[in-house]
Amino acid sequence: MQKKLIIGTRASILAVAQAELTKKMLLDSCDNLEVEIKKIITSGDKDQRTNWNKDNKSLKDMFVKEIERALLDGDIHLAVHSMKDMPAVSPVGLTIGAIPMREDNRDIIITNSGVPLEKLPAGSVIGTSSLRRVESIKNLRPDLIIEPIRGNIHTRIEKLKNENFDGIILAYAGLKRVGLKELATEIFDVDKIMPAPAQGALCIQCREDDEFTLKLLDKINHKETVLVIDAEREFSKIFDGGCTTPMGCYATIEGENIKIQGMYSYENKIYKDEVFGNKKNGKELAVKLAEMIRGQING
């Protein structure tokens, strides 16, 4: 029996590319399925000047709340988000139906000169509005100047070309998904710049009572990715992680075990640690890791 699914997404080039990727996965895994993509303009897309230091407004909510409303109202069947944009708790009535296999979660730099970070001249201007990236770059190259930059991938690349920037920091996953991976000057090892929790992962959200959609999404759900994302998001939750939190986390599955690495910047110093244990205990291990790092800070 044929069923039509409507996917809701932000209207940015990256968001649409992620929705198209989800559409392809669903069509590949299910016969006689029709899938439509519906673009939704969010508050975050309309407001590119928000003060990143505001404490009383979740920047994550700015990019997802209108899409979640469309989902609850039945205008769409599922929504595709970047997992790192998702608040810790979904609204009542919604659930995460699938987390597909994660794309490369590392950060990259694009420089006008084509030279890597370590070879940039002192005083070079680097664009990023992520405090995690700011603190990481300051730790690696305290002689560089870091300036805020907003906008989608293409907007930031244009600003790199036309404004006073020598380099910009972006997520490699996004660059790959919009077909621009060749622009990366340098891909940072996680030991240099720890990725944001859940970076590179997609979140496919649907109504918790929509059994048909849930069954379809189960076919594109990647269980090992779910384990690492759950661990990373637990670490993030403990540190109240968000766009304005200088914190990173990276989990990997090794056989039956999980390795979780975490970092937190406090008073211009980066604290790091890692834990290793059974992959079924990812959340508990993430809590332990957070306690270890807090111990370093308070020690």
Distance CA 111, CA 166 (A): 6
Tokens of 209: 């009572």
Q: Pick the catalytic residue from 55, 85, 189, 191.
A: 85
Distance CA 286, CA 274 (A): 9
Do residues 177 and 14 make contact, with C-beta atoms less than 8 angstroms apart?
A: yes
Q: Which of 98, 142, 100 is nearest to 124 (CA)?
A: 142
85 labelled catalytic: yes
Paired with 203 in beta bridges are: 81
Distance CA 219, CA 228 (A): 19
Neighbours of 285 (CB within 10 A): 24
Do residues 38 and 75 make contact, with C-beta atoms less than 8 angstroms apart?
A: yes
- Report the catalytic residues: 85
